[in-house]
Amino acid sequence: MAGARFRGMAQPDALVPGVMRLGEDHVVTGPFEVGEAQLAELRISAAKAEAYSVSRADGLRDVRGAAPTSYDDRDGIARAFPHSLPQGAELRIVQWMVAAARKSGGGVLADGRQPLVPDPAASVNLALYAAHALLPGDVLPMLRSLIATADVSAEQATADGSPRYTLAGSTAYDGSLVVDMERVDRVPRALGSLDWRSYGPFAYRMSWVPADPYELELEQASGLHVIARARMRASLARLAVAVQSRIGGILVDEGGFIAAPEELEGRNDPTAGGAPGSRAWV
């Protein structure tokens, strides 16, 4: 809007809610301003935050499944829905909201009652999508710079001649770092907004396997697991940056979001707990 009759109407700093469709039946509405009291309820420490409401577009309720038989899930979804679990599209949306909250240091208020505040530091794994295929001998020295005993655990060529291999390095207390490399026919949706020349069909999936893998499924892991996770999260970030600096490409975190350089730099501090909270999903 321009001209004298519109002067003073524009408020660039004001939040203007909008609506975004999620799949066939659900929509996101927001952002809305959130007060300190609501942030305290979610156990989020932030001077300013935004909230988004997620619901069905037709105003009806989703059909849910039976009550959970176990409450040991990493995202706390079973705890937040103790009487009947989301299923189908609703479950995928709840999982996406938790992943978005973990990425942004925010939280989810399930059904408007149960807070879910995932730990941003629990996101460890990374995947690099690049246009160039490195051989095991090219990647192994990078992994050995972090774990000296790392070696090739599997190697084969695909039908089109592309390399496919797995590298692994184990530690005495912190678990293992694993690199799986292969050519893929699908890439994460987050890459769809980028120029295709920024990435490629070769996926380098870098993951951490803790000493007790069962703890990956717990919302509240043990202190030893958290300490090991912090160290290996930093090591894996350094490995990912090393591979990316060699061949380029785009890094994606385990939530399906693009990992920015400043985020990877923050991961190199094993004492960092994650970004301060800024978003909430209801």
Query: Residue-wise pLDDT tens for the chain (282 aa)?
Result: 344 444 444 455 677 899 999 889 999 999 998 888 777 777 777 767 889 999 999 999 999 999 998 887 899 999 999 999 999 999 999 999 999 999 998 999 888 788 899 999 999 999 999 999 999 999 999 999 999 999 999 999 887 888 999 999 999 999 999 999 999 999 999 999 899 999 999 999 999 999 999 999 999 999 999 999 999 999 999 999 999 999 999 999 999 999 999 999 998 775 554 443 334 434
Both 39 and 146 in a single domain?
no
Pairing mode, strands 50-56 and 279-281: parallel
Domain boundary residue among 75, 104, 120?
120
Number of domains present in the structure of the chain: 2
Would you state the structure tokens that stand for residue 45, as one six-digit string?
Answer: 């420490």
**262 found inside a domain:** no
Both 131 and 207 in a single domain?
yes
Q: Is residue 266 packed enough to be buried (19+ CB in 10 Å), middle (13-18) or exposed (0-12)?
A: middle
Q: Are 201 and 232 in contact (CB under 8 A)?
A: no
Both 71 and 113 in a single domain?
yes
Residues in the chain: 282
Both 243 and 130 in a single domain?
yes
**269 found inside a domain:** no
Both 235 and 184 in a single domain?
yes
Q: Which domain holds residue 165?
A: 124-254
Both 74 and 191 in a single domain?
no
Among candidate residues 257, 254, 219, 211, the one with its CA nearest the CA of residue 236? 254
Both 62 and 105 in a single domain?
yes
**282 found inside a domain:** no
